[in-house]
Amino acid sequence: MRSLFKLCLLLVLTLGVCSSQAETMEEKGLRIAKESESRNNGFIGEESNLEMVLIDAYGSRIIRKMKGKVFEVIGDGDKSLNIFMNPKDVKGTKMLTWSHKDKDDKQWLYLPSLRRVKKISSKNKSSSFMGSEFSYEDLGSQETEKYTYNFIKDGKSSEGKDVYILERKPKAKSGYSKQVIYISKDHMNTVYVEYFDRKGEILKKAVMSGFKSYTIKGKTIHRPNQIHMKNLQTKKESIFKWHDRKIGIKLKERLFTKRALKK
């Protein structure tokens, strides 16, 4: 009888330990998001040529070309600079973003026609970036600290690859009530995102494709070479395409300042 009591007590204690160690859906979601972020850290710096394709609801296209630079900031969000090269009506326009982990991002737009730098206020971050379906918020920080996470389920991408499906909600004011993100299990990159507006209705979806691998100091980093954003409410689309991408290069931080925008 005493042996049976000990066995029952051992089972109760074991179940209690397992229960206390069980990972919640919130914890699992955050863990996966942090792993994805960690896999993409360590790129040092990046330069590329970019195309931004604007597609209206009738299928007409406008192509804009840019040069892009990204400076990795250890312990905080990165700094990025996009410079429009053509067509003529946008040539010389520059977009500077300072991303942060625990505070609002800072963004500035240099308008050559006015020869002045315009700061993008936080209340305007849901606005369209240069007439595209990408908002200023989309071009800003995606740091894990700015969201709460929830693991939804394992799933498959449109290409049949295994993915984690997570829901994330912004902690601060945002143009979105939530996002549902699909993270590939093989290289831990986001491959698909659904964006929901403040009313909770689906607004946009983004598909990341054309992934390429880059090796920096023995670490392999994967990057998509295309992001296709579709607005499901307006039927408009925008595509970002990267060309001649170089990762692992050292850039000078002084290139990413408001003063440098005017040069």
State the virtual CA torsion across 191, 68, 170, 125 in degrees, nearest 10.
Answer: -130
The boundaries of the domain holding residue 161 are: 26-261
Q: Where are the alpha helices (DSSP H) in the chain?
A: 2-21, 25-39, 258-261
Looking at the domain assignment, is residue 83 inside a domain? yes
**Least reliable range by pLDDT among 42-51, 109-118, 205-214:** 109-118
**DSSP character at residue 72:** -
Per this entry, what is the length of the chain?
263
Looking at the domain assignment, is residue 100 inside a domain? yes
Q: Residue 232: which CATH number?
A: 2.50.20.10
Q: What is the pLDDT of residue 248?
A: 96
231-251 burial code (b ≥16 CB/10 A, e <16): beeeebbbbbbbeeeebbeeb
**DSSP character at residue 231:** E
CA distances in angstroms from 70 to 44, 78, 82, 149, 207, listed in the order given? 9, 7, 9, 26, 21
Q: What is the pLDDT of residue 142?
A: 86
What does pLDDT average to over the chain?
91
C-beta of residue 69 within 8 angstroms of C-beta of residue 46: yes
Collapse the DSSP code of 110 into the 3-class scheme (helix H, G, I; strand E, B; otherwise coil) and give the result: strand
Could you report the per-residue pLDDT of 8-32, keeping only the tens digit for each?
Answer: 444 444 444 444 468 999 999 999 9
**DSSP character at residue 203:** E
Query: From CA 79, how far away is CA 76, in angstroms rounded?
Result: 9
C-beta of residue 120 within 8 angstroms of C-beta of residue 94: no
Q: What is the pLDDT of residue 121?
A: 87
Looking at the domain assignment, is residue 21 inside a domain? no
- Give residue 3's pLDDT band: very low, low, confident or very high (50, 70, 90): low
C-beta of residue 151 within 8 angstroms of C-beta of residue 29: yes
Using alpha carbons, select from 89, 99, 128, 87 the residue that is nearest to residue 234: 128
- Give residue 196's pLDDT band: very low, low, confident or very high (50, 70, 90): very high
Could you report the per-residue pLDDT of 58-78, keeping only the tens digit for each?
Answer: 999 999 999 999 999 999 999
Strand partners, 121: none
Could you report the per-residue pLDDT of 107-155, keeping only the tens digit for each?
Answer: 999 999 888 999 998 788 899 999 999 999 998 878 999 999 999 999 9
Provide, rounded to the nearest whole percent, the portion of the chain with pLDDT above 70.
Answer: 92
Looking at the domain assignment, is residue 5 inside a domain? no
**DSSP character at residue 226:** E
How many domains does the structure of the chain reveal? 1
Looking at the domain assignment, is residue 6 inside a domain? no
**DSSP character at residue 77:** -
Looking at the domain assignment, is residue 8 inside a domain? no
Looking at the domain assignment, is residue 13 inside a domain? no
Looking at the domain assignment, is residue 187 inside a domain? yes
